[in-house]
Amino acid sequence: MPDPEPTTDNLYERLSRKFDKTFTDRRGGVDLTYISGEQVISRLNDELGVLNWSFKVLEHGFNDSADEMWVLGELSIFHLGHIITRQQFGSDKVQRSRSTGTPLDIGFDLKSAATDALKKCATLIGIGLYLTQPTSARVSPVPPVTCEEPGCQQRLQAHEFTDGTRWTIPDIVERSKPYGKVLCYEHLRKAAA
């Protein structure tokens, strides 16, 4: 089969444009930004049409040591007479009863793993790919925010508590508002006392 000709219909740009809304989850002390399966499916439907893409689960299983379901999925898109396929793995932790430890719904865990595989396949054609870049590459530079307490001028930094709770710089700025000026964590703590 000959190599497909490059296209000029800007499909990649349309697939890879940024989403208006993203979600954040904290895992292992790291904030992960992601999009939902519904957003990926909507992007595929909107840009390709419902008849011009398909997804199927090729294999699935259970990883005992990680206590998770895994899925190998395949995304196929039909574009300008070509079929383009991408495969990727997805996984999801098995949800268990707190009292008995038995799985609650393996079907739901498999569905979640399949959605994860779909989203990962979609990154291979540009959908949400920008979210895999380091945060510093995704966000435009913002000038540092400094403490307005006279004589301080310390640059604000996020603060993590021993219980894992984290105040981001915007959280600290927001909590400073009642004091009429931006305060660093130390001066905010003193002002609250």
For the chain, 193 residues long, the average pLDDT of each consecutive 10-residue run is: 52 91 79 91 95 97 93 94 94 92 92 96 93 61 75 85 80 86 90 86
pLDDT for 49: 93
Mutual orientation of helices 106-123 and 37-48 as an angle, nearest 10°?
50
Q: Are the CB atoms for 11 and 1 separated by under 8 Å?
A: no
| Contact of 116 with 110, CB cutoff 8 Å | no
Which residue has 């989850």 as its token pair? 25
pLDDT for res 5? 47
Domains and CATH numbers, the chain: 11-136 (3.30.390.80), 143-192 (no CATH)
Give the pTM: 0.65
Confidence at residue 135, expressed as pLDDT on a 0 to 100 scale: 56
Residue 134 is predicted with a pLDDT of: 66
The per-residue pLDDT for 9 is 64
Q: What is the pLDDT of residue 164?
A: 75
The Cα–Cα gap between 79 and 86 comes to 14
